[in-house]
């Protein structure tokens, strides 16, 4: 069985007239050691998907298995333990605690393990060395550049030695140099055999990935294996189209991204996804 297995996972937010179907019967399996990039326009469900995979949120419907355990059936406390041991998160805005210095931010997750302060500091210091931030240990988050803050956040994500790293637009707030530094770190973590899930709007970054999924309207509308070092095929189309966006496109509020999630594929997949009851069972059977 795959490391991550989602079967018809749906997520509904809100009640009554204000409901949003953030995920619409998503099926996804991710093998150990994959570097999966997730692309799609904003609002397409990328963060919701990452939060469910990362056990920060629960599906409304469907099953989620993580390393052969039925994660959706675990109690919150068991989920929290699984999350602590298996998953490291990196977010767009670093989420460092402003009142703690870098070393204390990085060692914080260890405090919940009952480790002595000296051992915690030693381990945090080693992690900071790994991300090239040893000399910033006693800086406060406000004294760091974006790239440095993100490297500290990565050190914190790695401190429990998780085998899965979930990074939700980690370079969204960084310039191209800092993005590269951060991506090289993820790449190194990947080479060590870990599984990486990266949400990104930047087609260039699909070069680091071994697979790219494209989301639209809460569904996965494209799934592409791609050699590391090469930009994914669909992503490349988005990238080159993006160069040709005219001022009138921008004025019309049409983002290149939205336009380019390939329309044909969406309709065909959408139709398949929307099949219900008997037809869906038939589709399933025919796939086996």
The alpha carbon of residue 182 and the mean position of all alpha carbons in its chain are separated, in whole angstroms, by 14
Considering the complex, what minimum distance in angstroms separates the CB of residue 214 from ligand ADP? 11
29 binds, among Mg ion, ligand ADP, none (CB under 5 to 8 A by kind): none
Nearest CA to 182 out of 163, 195, 193, 168 is that of 168
The residue among 197, 131, 134, 132 whose CA lies nearest residue 163 is 197
Query: Smallest distance, Å, CB 288 to Mg ion?
Result: 34
- Closer residue to ligand ADP (CB): 22 or 127: 22
CB of 116 to ligand ADP, least distance (A): 38
Tell me phi and psi for residue 251, to 5 degrees. Answer: -60, -35
| Partner in contact with 20, chosen from Mg ion, ligand ADP, none, beta carbon below 5 to 8 Å by kind | ligand ADP
Cβ proximity to Mg ion, 46 vs 234, nearer residue? 46
47 scored as a contact of Mg ion (CB under 5 A): yes
Which 14-53 residues touch ligand ADP, going by CB under 6 A? 14, 20, 22, 40, 42-48
Q: Tell me how far apart the alpha carbons of residues 130 and 124 are, in angstroms, rounded to a whole number.
A: 10
Least distance CB 113 / ligand ADP (angstroms)? 29
- Per this entry, what is the length of the chain? 288
How many distinct helices (H) and strands (E) make up the chain?
11, 10
Work out what residue 95 binds among Mg ion, ligand ADP, none; the CB cut-off runs from 5 to 8 Å by kind: none
Q: What are phi and psi of 49, to 5 degrees?
A: -60, -45
Name the site residues for ligand ADP (rule: CB under 6 A). 13-14, 20, 22, 40, 42-48
């Amino acid at each position: 069985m795959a490391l991550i297995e989602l079967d018809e996972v749906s997520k509904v937010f809100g009640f009554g007239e204000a409901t949003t179907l953030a995920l619409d019967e998503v099926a996804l399996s991710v093998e150990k050691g994959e570097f999966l990039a997730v692309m799609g326009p904003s609002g397409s469900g990328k963060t919701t998907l990452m939060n469910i995979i990362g056990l920060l949120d629960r599906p409304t419907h469907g099953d989620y298995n993580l390393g052969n355990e039925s994660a959706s059936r675990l109690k919150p406390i068991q989920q929290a333990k699984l999350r602590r041991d298996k998953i490291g998160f990196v977010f767009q805005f670093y989420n460092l605690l402003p009142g703690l210095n870098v070393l204390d931010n990085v060692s914080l997750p260890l405090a919940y393990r009952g480790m002595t302060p000296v051992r915690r500091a030693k381990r945090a210091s080693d992690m900071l060395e790994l991300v090239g931030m040893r000399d910033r240990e006693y800086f406060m988050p406000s004294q760091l550049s974006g790239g440095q803050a993100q490297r500290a956040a990565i050190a914190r994500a790695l401190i429990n030695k998780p085998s899965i790293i979930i990074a939700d637009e980690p370079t969204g707030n960084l310039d191209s140099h800092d993005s590269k530094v951060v991506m090289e770190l993820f790449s190194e973590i990947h080479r060590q055999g870990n599984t990486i899930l990266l949400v990104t709007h930047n087609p260039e970054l699909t070069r680091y990935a071994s697979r790219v999924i494209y989301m639209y309207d809460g569904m996965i509308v494209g799934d592409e294996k791609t050699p590391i070092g090469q930009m994914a095929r669909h992503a490349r189309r988005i990238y080159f189209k993006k160069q040709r966006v005219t001022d009138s496109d921008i004025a019309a509020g049409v983002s290149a991204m939205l336009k380019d999630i390939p329309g044909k594929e969406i309709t065909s997949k959408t139709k398949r996804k929307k099949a219900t009851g008997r037809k869906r069972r038939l589709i399933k059977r025919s796939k086996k």
